[in-house]
Structure 1
Amino acid sequence: MAVNQPLDLTCGIEIECLVLISTPPDQSKYTAVHHFQGQGLIHEALSKPIDVRCATCGVSHDFVLDLNPYMEQTDDEGPEYTKWTVDTDESLDLTVAESLKFHGTLRHVQVFPIEIKSRVLSLTRNFVSKGHAPSSGHTHKVSFDAEVDAVYRSLDRHFNSADSAKNIGLVVNHTCSTHVHIGNGRHGFPTRTVKNVLSLCVAHERLIDNLHSTSRIHGSTILSASESWASLNHSFRYLQHVTAPKVYNSPWSTHFAHTAFLQSESAVPDEGRKFVPEPVYPASRFEASPDLTSAARRFDVPSWLSIITSAQDITDLRNLQQNSARRSTINLHNLQSYRLNDEDSFDFGYRKMTIEFRQHAGTL
């Protein structure tokens, strides 16, 4: 694959939601079986055929989703994302107000935090359907968006229709999101492509924020707990008495302030330096590049764009987020260096080789 060839665009989505089950008093006690009950209900719903239109002939047919067993999700080498997976996510929960509301109207309520992970979906090639094959010999194919739509319709039909069980509900709140991963097969992206995406998102951050729910854009001016929190508080001893706040969707101004000051040795007293990791980009090039140092200490979009442009590789771009990629609207943590040829492709293990967009609110 040459650098100037079209990208083999792929995507994956993560759908977060909460399953609520109202149980009789004698069944309300938590057991190991209960732990998997929410996953089991979602898995059962997604296992049933659903009507989908063929991308090539336009005929509707029963489509069957390719699913991992919900208690057997990955192999020893890590997830390959060849099938859909019903997983859990302990970061999801009801708010205090929601808990009071539900427990006030329903005496015994079990809450199950669910994350539904898609297989790798091609944006350029349709998927061969495993549903009904017509006698003509034609093989039905399904587009990536039709497959995602089928998942949402299955959930809606199973949990929100008139025939749904009255003691089961499926909800989303501000803790739930819909994450979208964009990839280039197993190759990763050229550094120039990642720079372009990041520059667009930084330059148009406020416009992009306007497209999203306010619950996904409040952010924070302080990053989450990391080695840098020790730097910010000047002393490891002080860190023992302070709990770093748990935040998400920090604005880009926070990330760039972090790279400008908290990675710099001068920001940390002598007694605290042994706790500070080696500086990474852009701080690692401050001594060699006065222009980069100056840009890092100016808080405006043109300066931030120049820092992005000056990055030498994917690692430099990942380091702009340090340990807070999962607390950002965009996550570059899954990327490694671009591989030009198929023979250069490698076992990426838990690296998905994607750019993850995390800002979209949960949707059902």
Structure 2
Amino acid sequence: MTFGVKLEMLAYAPRKINPRDHLTSALKKPISLRCSHCAEDHSWKLPVEGVLNSHGFVTAFTTWTIHRDPSVYSEKDEEARVKRGSSQFYSLELVSRVLNFCSLTPDPVGQTYPCTGELFMWDSQTEINAFIQRIHEAFSGEGYCVATNKNCGFHIHFGNGKRQPPIKAALGMVGVFACLERHFDQIFPASRI
């Protein structure tokens, strides 16, 4: 019951600021989430590349990664979004780690609940929402913009291992993503979801 998501976007930042580096830095800042154990807010690191666990490393596909995507490019009619010469464009692709639809996944960074000492567990909906929220925060200032156009996409990849989801479970997954549609719409137009 594993899956992954890929978010493609146009990112603009003021000159002399690399949008990819800017987003990478933003994703490495801790976020505050309500604890499922004690109902208090705790600070957590997002599972993004470059954030290490207590052993100093993480294995492949256990963190989100940021890439440049040559298939994403701005159109001439989009130049009105950003003042000419004040911002630079960068095509970004944010690729999730392997997520689990049916159960919580252990935190690859090795974080523990402050209230119990147990290994922190991520819920896939909470994790995806936290990344989308952080993208918005990172590109909400003056000279910053994150957008989509007909060249951008939102991709969902379902696991194809021994435990492929039955049709009923696959329909449930689609239902969950439909419930999260408003979050995705904040970055992507509905036509691209």
CA distance in 1, matches of 2:60, 2:116: 34
> What residue ranges of structure 1 are gaps of 5+ in the alignment?
1-8, 28-33, 71-78, 198-212, 214-358
SS in 2 for 1:42: helix
Does structure 1 conserve the Cα–Cα contact (< 8 Å) formed by 2:9 and 2:93?
Answer: yes
TM-score, normalising length: structure 1: 0.40
Shift of 1:40: 1.0
The 3 A distance-change label for structure 1 pair 125 and 59 is farther
8 Å contact 2:5–2:154 — kept in the other structure?
A: yes
Letter in 1 for 2:66: V
1:13 match: 5
Instruction: Determine if the alignment matches structure 1 residue 170 to structure 2 residue 146.
Output: yes
Match of 2:13, SS state, is strand
Which stretches in structure 2 are left out of the alignment for 5+ residues? 52-58, 171-184
Given that 2:49 and 2:64 are in contact with CA atoms closer than 8 Å, whether structure 1 keeps it comes out as: yes
Match of 2:192 in 1: 361
Between the aligned partners of 2:151 and 2:65, the Cα distance in structure 1 is 20
Question: Which of these residues, 125, 133, 136, is aligned with residue 145 of structure 1?
Answer: 125
Which letter does structure 2 place at the counterpart of 1:361? R
Secondary structure at the residue paired with 1:152? helix
User: Partner residue of 1:121?
Assistant: 99
C-alpha contact (below 8 Å) 1:53/1:142 kept by paired residues: no
Contact 2:35 2:41 in 1 (8 A): yes
* Distance in 2 of aligned mates of 1:147 and 1:155: 13
Matches within 5 A, 1:242-261: none
In structure 1, C-alpha distance between the alignment counterparts of 2:87 and 2:138, rounded to whole Å: 19
Among 143, 146, 157, the residue aligned to 2:137: 157
Q: Partner of 2:29 in structure 1?
A: 48
- CA separation of 1:175 and 1:20: change in aligned 2, threshold 3 A: same
Equivalent residue pairs, number = 165
- Report the Cα distance in structure 1 between the residues aligned to 2:87 and 2:12, rounded to whole angstroms: 6
Post-superposition CA distance 1:104-133 (Å, at most 9, x none): x33343210000000000112213344463
| Closer, same or farther: CA 13–134 of 1 in aligned 2, 3 Å | same
Q: CA deviation at 1:102?
A: 4.1
Question: Does the 8 Å CA contact 1:55/1:142 hold for their aligned counterparts?
Answer: no
Partner of 2:87: 109
Would you tell me which structure has more strand in proportion to its own residues? Answer: 2
Percent sequence identity is: 23
RMSD over aligned CA atoms reads 3.2
When Rg is computed on C-alpha atoms for both structures, the one with the higher figure is 1
CA–CA separation in structure 2 for the residues paired with 1:57 and 1:128 = 18
Question: What is the alpha-carbon distance in structure 1 between the residues aligned to residue 162 and residue 34 of structure 2?
Answer: 31
Counterpart contact for 1:11–1:121, Cα < 8 Å: yes
Q: Relative CO higher for 1 or 2, CA cutoff 8 Å, sep ≥ 6?
A: 2
Q: Which amino acid aligns with 1:13?
A: V
The equivalent of 1:64 in structure 2 is 45
After TM superposition, the structure 1 = structure 2 runs for residues 210-225 of structure 1, keeping only pairs within 5 Å, are: none
- Secondary structure (helix, strand or coil) at the match of 1:146 reads helix
Contact 1:57–1:140 under 8 Å retained in 2: no
In structure 1, the residue corresponding to 2:19 is in which secondary structure? helix
Tell me by how many angstroms 1:189 deviates: 4.0
Distance (Å, rounded) in 2 between the aligned partners of 1:360 and 1:86: 23
Pick one of 78, 81, 88 that aligns with 2:61: 81
Separation in 2 of the partners of 1:137 and 1:109? 45
